[in-house]
Amino acid sequence: MIEVREIRKSFGEVDAVNGINFHVGEGEIYGFLGPNGAGKTTTISIIAGILLADSGTVSIAGMDIRKDGRKIRSLLGVIPQEIALYEELSGRENLHFWGSLYGLSGRELRSAADRVLERVGLSERANDPVREYSGGMKRRINLCIGLLHHPRIILLDEPTLGIDPQARINILDIIREEVSRGTTAIYTTHYLEEAENLCDRIAIIDNGRILAEGTLQELVRLVGEEDIVTVTGSFTAEQVNPLLGGVKVDHLESDSIRVLVPDSHSISGLLERFFAAGVNVGEVSIKEPSLESVFIKLTGRELRD
């Protein structure tokens, strides 16, 4: 359904997107997981027609976005990361305006708007100007606009950003519901759980590149069955290096070491050797194989920074 080939985009010195390739099949939810500044929004903007790529191609439903822009855009529903609403208009008027641009009109438009307003619990406030809404309410209207016309493809750019957990669950439910009609979706996020819970396949993206891609199981298999153990404290690399027999070292520097261990038995063995050698250990963290450990392994850092 969506085919992205070698797209690149730079802003001056910054290579925001640096050769990205992926494919999203019909009815699939494709997750884009990456930290701030990874290039998620830039990629989505290129697909949505907001930005022109410096090079590379994007085709959607067999059409090239450079040639059949209007046709492709009529298939899309885009939920931008930055809330984009007319503040002086009411929530309902916003829905009516954006809906009419997708060809909805009359009764059909009004009932579609009423339905989504009901679904996100904003029926009561629908006639108030958006200016008077809370951040969460604006987020919900922002979401509704992209779903109103039941697009075949939805592009969601961090739709739950800055929302309280309760409202987040509600939003994820709505997205699930919408996608269950057979809609194709790209979902960007920097929340691991969202990617894990919602997406059929996930791409891990950083510095404008896709580092790994696959289903959750496939990605987790990348880090193997081993746990990731991170030990921090006050020591030098030379001091701990001789003590590391029997574990795979993933990362080693002064005061911090990350190793991969097959079971908890080898962890206690390792720590015993550390204590015996008088290594000053501050903190030990153990992570079982998960998307997070994949992320750490691929990027060398945690997602929340």
Ligand X SMILES: Nc1ncnc2c1ncn2[C@@H]1O[C@H](COP(=O)(O)OP(=O)(O)O)[C@@H](O)[C@H]1O
Asked if 39 is part of the footprint of ligand X (rule: CB under 6 A), the reply reads: yes
Q: How far is the CB of 39 from other proteins (least distance, A)?
A: 15
Q: Which is nearer to other proteins, 89 or 298 (CB)?
A: 89
* Contact indicator for 91, 128 with CB cutoff of 8 Å: yes
Torsion of CA 259, 260, 265, 267, to 10 degrees: 20
Q: Out of other proteins, Mg ion, ligand X, none, which partner does residue 83 contact, by CB within 5 to 8 A per kind? A: other proteins
**Binding residue for ligand X (CB under 6 A) from 29, 30, 31, 42?**
42
Token pair, residue 8, equals 């690149």
Q: Which residues, 6 or more positions from 106, have their beta carbon under 8 angstroms from its beta carbon?
A: none
Asked if 41 is part of the footprint of other proteins (rule: CB under 8 A), the reply reads: no
Asked if 34 is part of the footprint of ligand X (rule: CB under 6 A), the reply reads: yes
Q: How far is the CB of 260 from ligand X (least distance, A)?
A: 28
Cα separation of the two ends of the chain: 34
Q: How far is the CB of 60 from other proteins (least distance, A)?
A: 12
SS3 177: helix
Asked if 67 is part of the footprint of other proteins (rule: CB under 8 A), the reply reads: no
Asked if 144 is part of the footprint of other proteins (rule: CB under 8 A), the reply reads: no
Asked if 188 is part of the footprint of other proteins (rule: CB under 8 A), the reply reads: no
Token pair, residue 303, equals 């997602």
Q: Phi, psi at residue 296, to the nearest 5°? A: -65, -40
CA 176 to chain centre: 15
Residues at the site binding other proteins, with contacts judged by CB under 8 A = 45, 48-52, 69-70, 73-74, 76, 78, 80, 82-89, 93, 97-98, 100-103, 129, 145, 155
